[in-house]
Structure 1
Amino acid sequence: MSEEIVYAHLKLRDSVKKENMQKSEKHRGEVPSAPSCSQHKTVLILILLCLLMLVGLGVLGGLFHTTLETEIIKSNELQGIKEELQRNISLQLMLNHNSSKIIGNLSAMLQKTATQLCRELYKKEPEHKCKPCPKGSKWYKDSCYFKLGGLRTWQKSEIQCSVQNASLLKIKNKSVLEFVKSERLNNYWLGLSPRKDQAKSEKLTETIFLSAGFEGSMPDLRLLVITDDD
């Protein structure tokens, strides 16, 4: 009985060894399978896509660089044109200003010459049609005189005369005084020094104008009413 048990035990151990050896031999004989064809295609497609993307990025970069350079060139050209136009406009404005000034000077000179000629004709022929003074003015002793309507302050009267290229009358001789008296005017601004007394009226005589008290325009004068007793 004991002999059978030993034999069975040995047989079992031998069978286990044999099985293990077969398994190891089987594993040694196995070879890894080669990658399939579809995997190769996928890898190639991915590589191709990457190359195409790189080429596309290069093309886009080149286009952007070219476009940027073109825009910079155009911007510089436009800036140059703008500066040239500004210089031309400034030059034209300067020329126009100079031309206007020259024309104005020539016009004033011609007007002055024409007025002088007209005055000479008027002296020789008082009835001559040539009028040396503007419309509404009177010619007397080489000067033109005109009356301002209404009442104004001294400053406003000066401004009104200045607008018409004239000045307030300053009587320097008896002849002009007689001319003013002949006009029968009511209100005057006179170039007199301020008086200490409160006289409200004064006879219009040469004493007023041809005395040391006559000093020209005073900005603080009041309206002086002068009456003629003649």
Structure 2
Amino acid sequence: MSEEIMYADLKFQDSSKTENGKSGIKAPAAPPRSWQCRVVALAVFCLLLLAGLGILGSMFYGTSNMQMGKLNKLQSFKEELQRNLSLQLIENMNSSVKIRNLSITLQKMATKLCHQLYKKYPEHKCKPCRKRWLWHEDSCYLLSQQREDWQTSEQECQNLNASLLKIKNKSVLDFIKSQTTDFWLGLSPRKNQGSFEMLKEKISSSDWFINNTNGFSGEMYCGYRYSEYVYYTLCTERKKFICEKLANRVKIENTLINEEPDGFT
């Protein structure tokens, strides 16, 4: 009996040694507590970081929407200003057209009124021509008091910023018939005398002088008016002449003057 107990005890001890000999590897030691704290802190930090990013994203989204709203309002305000400006420009253009039309109408009325005053008072202050010049339609005419050759006559007119008379329409022809009958015309000089021509047939002629006297000489022939006809004679002969130039605009305020000009009776 004692032998069996000893044998069992020995066997138990051997089996314990054998089990310990089979494992041979120690169990890992438990991690220190400080590392566990660090892991937890890192996890909390990551959560806080994610929460912060979420908050920042929400703030950015809200700010973006706010800024977009302001941009849209500014864009709408800009478009409204452009529309108002366009309407204002159109209105100004319409007003300018109305003002221009009114100005043209007033100018025509003033010109007609001045014509009536001119018939009664040839030197009225509204007259758009200088003293001693005759006024017809939109031109002024000056009848010379002396006789000159054709070239001198043309030069005299140029000195007055005018030119020798050119009869290019029936209205001027009818007007000039009441004036002196024998005077130089602004026709281009030519080498041959030729025959006389009806003055009314010269209205649409291309012979009217255009300020080009290249090759001019005293042996050339120049045209002059006599009665209803145009004759050509040597340009060196001396005749009266008529200068013409564009009239100034009638000044509206001058048509409203009640005083009679000097020399009126």
Give TM class, smaller chain.
Answer: 0.5 to 0.7
Judging changes above 3 Å, is the alpha-carbon distance between structure 1 residues 125 and 41 closer, same or farther for their aligned structure 2 residues?
Answer: same
Q: State the distance in 2 between where 1:177 and 1:67 align.
A: 87
Tell me if the contact between 2:187 and 2:223 (Cα under 8 Å) persists in the aligned partners. no
Single out whichever of 180-189 and 112-121 deviates more from structure 2.
180-189
Q: State the distance in 2 between where 1:63 and 1:183 align.
A: 101
Q: What per-residue deviation string (whole Å, max 9, x for no partner) do you get for residues 96-149 of structure 1? A: 111111111111111111111111111123243331x36697413xx13148xx
Q: Which residue of 1 is the match for residue 168 of structure 2? A: 170
TM-score for the superposition, normalised by structure 2: 0.52
Q: Which has the higher helix share?
A: 1
Q: How does 1:12-91 map to 2 (within 5 A)?
A: 21-22=16-17, 24=19, 33-91=29-87
Q: Which residue of 1 is the match for residue 138 of structure 2? A: 144
Tell me if the contact between 1:200 and 1:224 (Cα under 8 Å) persists in the aligned partners. no
Tell me if the contact between 1:204 and 1:227 (Cα under 8 Å) persists in the aligned partners. no
TM-score for the superposition, normalised by structure 1: 0.59
Residue 98 of structure 2 is aligned with which of 98, 102, 106? 102
Structure 1: 5+ residue stretches without partners: 1-14, 148-167, 190-197
Q: Which residue of 1 is the match for residue 6 of structure 2? A: none
Tell me if the contact between 1:202 and 1:227 (Cα under 8 Å) persists in the aligned partners. no
The residue type equivalent to 1:54 in the other structure is L
Q: Which residue of 2 is the match for residue 162 of structure 1? A: none
Tell me if the contact between 1:186 and 1:227 (Cα under 8 Å) persists in the aligned partners. yes
Identity level (%): 34
Pairwise CA RMSD: 4.1
Judging changes above 3 Å, is the alpha-carbon distance between structure 1 residues 134 and 25 closer, same or farther for their aligned structure 2 residues?
Answer: farther
The structure, 1 or 2, with the larger RCO (C-alpha pairs under 8 Å, 6+ apart) is 2
Single out whichever of 84-93 and 174-183 deviates more from structure 2.
174-183
Q: State the distance in 2 between where 1:224 and 1:39 align.
A: 117
Q: Which has the higher strand share?
A: 2
Deviation at residue 86 of structure 1 after TM alignment: 0.9
Q: State the distance in 2 between where 1:183 and 1:59 align.
A: 107
Deviation at residue 21 of structure 1 after TM alignment: 2.8
Residue 129 of structure 1 aligns to a residue whose secondary structure is coil
Tell me if the contact between 2:117 and 2:124 (Cα under 8 Å) persists in the aligned partners. yes
Q: State the distance in 1 between where 2:19 and 2:182 align.
A: 151
Judging changes above 3 Å, is the alpha-carbon distance between structure 1 residues 42 and 185 closer, same or farther for their aligned structure 2 residues?
Answer: farther
The residue type equivalent to 1:144 in the other structure is D
Deviation at residue 182 of structure 1 after TM alignment: 7.1
Task: Give the paired residue count.
Answer: 177
The residue type equivalent to 1:145 in the other structure is S
Residue 58 of structure 1 aligns to a residue whose secondary structure is helix
Q: State the distance in 1 between where 2:13 and 2:207 align.
A: 149
Deviation at residue 179 of structure 1 after TM alignment: 6.7
Judging changes above 3 Å, is the alpha-carbon distance between structure 1 residues 134 and 199 closer, same or farther for their aligned structure 2 residues?
Answer: same
Q: Which residue of 1 is the match for residue 254 of structure 2? A: none
Q: What per-residue deviation string (whole Å, max 9, x for no partner) do you get for residues 53-85 of structure 1? A: 111110121122112111211211111111111
